[in-house]
Chains A and B, each alone.
Chain A
Amino acid sequence: MSFLAFNSIKELSDKLGDGSLSPVELTGFFLERLKLHGPKLNAVVTIMENRAHKQAFKLKKELEKGKIRSPLHGIPYGGKDLLAAIGAPTSWGAAPYKDRVLKYDATVVSRLERAGAILSAKLAMIELAGGMGYRQPNASFTGPCKTPWNLNYWSGGSSSGSGSAVAAGLVPFAIGSETWGSILSPANNCGVSGLRPTYGRVSRYGAMALSWTLDKLGPLCQTAEDCGLILEAISGFDPHDPSTTRRKYKFETVQKDFRVALIKGNMIGADELSNKNFEKSLKIIEKFAIVDEITFPEFPYEAVTRMILNAEAASAFEDFIDEGLSHQLTASEDRYNGYSRLTVLAKDYLRALRLRGKMVKIAEEIMQSYDAVLAPTSKRTAAPINQEFRRNAPTTPSIDITGSVGNGAGLPSISVPAGFSEEGLPTCIQFMGKAYDENIIISLAVEYQKRTDWHKKHPKEFE
C-alpha cells in the first residue's frame, strides 16, 4: 500500500471511485503513517483516530450506495492546529493552550467534511502562527518541525506540520494559513505545492486570528492541480467571516498565451544553487509563457505590511500578553517580543492602511499586462533546525516584494518544487497572480509540473 502515500487526490479519488480502495482502508493507511512518522518530524499535534474512523465508515456506506460528495470523498487530510475542530484540542502551537478544547468546527473543516474529506490529524505549527516574532525553528510546544528531506533542517513555518506531513506522505493534503509567508515557507522547505489564496477567498471563521486584514487559509498538496480541487471545496462566502467574497470559485485550468513578469534583481542575495535552479526553471517556463522583466517603483512595501501586521497582532494578542501568558511560550524571543508591538501608534497603523490603497494600485497597474509575477519562493533552502533562521537569510539586503506586496495587497500565489540543493533540500518557485486569479496561477503551475518531475520526487526515508 505504500505507493498510496504520495498519490495525488485525483489518483486516490479514482481508486475510491472504482472500488479498488475504500475510505476506511485509506484512512487506516494514513493514520498508521501519522503514528509511525509524525513523531520523527514533530509534525503532528493530535491524531484524530475516532473522528476519522467514524467519518470513513459513513463515507464508505455512501460510496456503496453510489453517493459521491465530491472528488474529495474519502480523502484524509490534516489541519493546522489553529483550526477549531470537534474531537481534539486546538492549541495554536502554544503551550498555554495545549489542552484547550473548542467545541465547534471551523468553516474550513465543516466545508471539507461536506465535500467528503476526512480530518485525520491536527498538525504542528509555530506558536501563535509566529505572531510574537519568532526567530528560530524551536518555537512550538511540539518542538521544531523538520523537513522530511533532511531531519537536521527546518520544515519552515508557521504551517510547519502542514508542509512536513504532506511531504512525508502522512496525509494527501493539509490546510495551512498565511499572514506573511506561512504557507509558502513550508511549501518551499518541504518541497510541496502550496497555495495562498486571495484574501477573503476562504473563510477564517474558527481559525486563530493573527492579523484580520492579512490572514488567509490555503492548501498544501502533492500537486498544483490538487490545490485547485481543495480551494474549490473550501472557498466561498461565509456570514461568520465578513471578509469573505461572494465571488464563486470553480477550479478549472486555463489554456492561453501566458505572460509572466520577472522582477528585476529578484535573485539578489540568493544562494548560488537556488539561483541556478531558478534559472533552469525560467528556461522551462519560457517554453509556455512569454517572460518579461519588470521593476516595482520605490515604495515602502515592507514597512506598510509590517506596520499593519504588528498593529493587528498587538490587538489580537493584547489580553494574552496582559495575562502574562507569553512567558509560557517556547521560543525565548516570543516571551517578550509582543510587548513592543503594544506601542504601535494608531496614526501609524492608519497611515499604513492608507498607503495600502496606493500599494494595491501599484501592484494592479504593474501586473495588468501579465498573468503572474514569477519569483523564487525563497532565496535560501531550509535553515538548520538548531539555529536562528535569520543567520540563513540573504546577506545582501533585498526587499521581499512578493511577500510584502502579495500579502499586503491580498494577492494569491502558488509555490511548486523546482530543484534541490547539494544537501538534498528543495528549492521552489512561485507564481503570484492578480486578485481572484487563482485559476491562472494554478494553470501556470500545472504547465510547469507537466514539464518537470520535481513534485514526483519524495524523501527516501518515507517512501
Chain B
Amino acid sequence: MLGSKEKIVENLSNLIFESYGSRLTEKEKEEIRKSIEQTFENSVKLHQISLENGDEPFSVFIPYRKEKN
C-alpha cells in the first residue's frame, strides 16, 4: 500500500474533524483517530492477497423489470 500510515490516518481523521469537529470532544477525536487506524490496518491485510482483474465483487447487479402479476 502506498503512503505512510500516520499521514493517511491523519488525513482521513481531518476529513471527519473538518465536517463534524465542532460536535466532538478531544477524547472522542482521539478515539475516532484510533478507529481509523484500525480500518487502515484492515485495509493493509486486504492488500496482502493478490487479485486478478477478473476477480469481481461477490455481489451481482441484476437489471430490473417489474414482475407481471
Contact = CB atoms under 8 A, between A and B. Distances in A.
A351 B15 CA distance: 22
B58 A360 contact: yes
A360 B59 CA distance: 12
B31 A358 contact: no
B19 to A, nearest CB: 8
A354 B55 contact: yes
The 5 closest A-B pairs by CB, nearest first: A353-B57, A340-B35, A357-B58, A300-B45, A303-B45
Contacts of A352: 46
Given A242-B62, A345-B43, A300 B31 contact: no
A324 B22 CA distance: 11
A246 to B, nearest CB: 12
Interface in B22-63: 23-24, 28, 31-33, 35-36, 39, 42-43, 45-49, 51, 55-59, 62
Interface of B is mostly: helix
A239 B67 contact: yes
21 contacts: A213-B59, A242-B62, A300-B45, A300-B48, A303-B45, A321-B20, A327-B23, A337-B35, A339-B24, A340-B35, A343-B12, A343-B13, A343-B15, A348-B42, A351-B46, A351-B47, A351-B51, A353-B59, A354-B51, A357-B55, A357-B56
B1 to A, nearest CB: 10
Contact of A354 (B45, B57, B62): B57
Interface residues of B, number: 29
Contacts of A306: 42
B16 A343 contact: yes
Interface of A: 133, 213, 239, 242, 299-300, 303-304, 306-307, 310, 321, 324, 327, 333, 335-337, 339-345, 348, 350-358, 360
A153 B62 CA distance: 46
Given A343-B13, A345-B43, 13 more contacts: A213-B59, A242-B62, A300-B49, A303-B42, A303-B45, A333-B31, A339-B24, A339-B32, A344-B39, A348-B39, A351-B43, A354-B56, A357-B56
A355 B49 contact: yes
Interface of A is mostly: helix
A130 to B, nearest CB: 15
Contacts of B58: 353-354, 356-357, 360
Contact of A348 (B28, B43, B48): B43
Contacts of B12: 343
Given A343-B36, A348-B46, A336 B57 contact: no
A358 B32 contact: no
A336 B31 CA distance: 8
A347 B22 CA distance: 29
A340 B24 CA distance: 12
A358 to B, nearest CB: 7
B46 A304 contact: yes
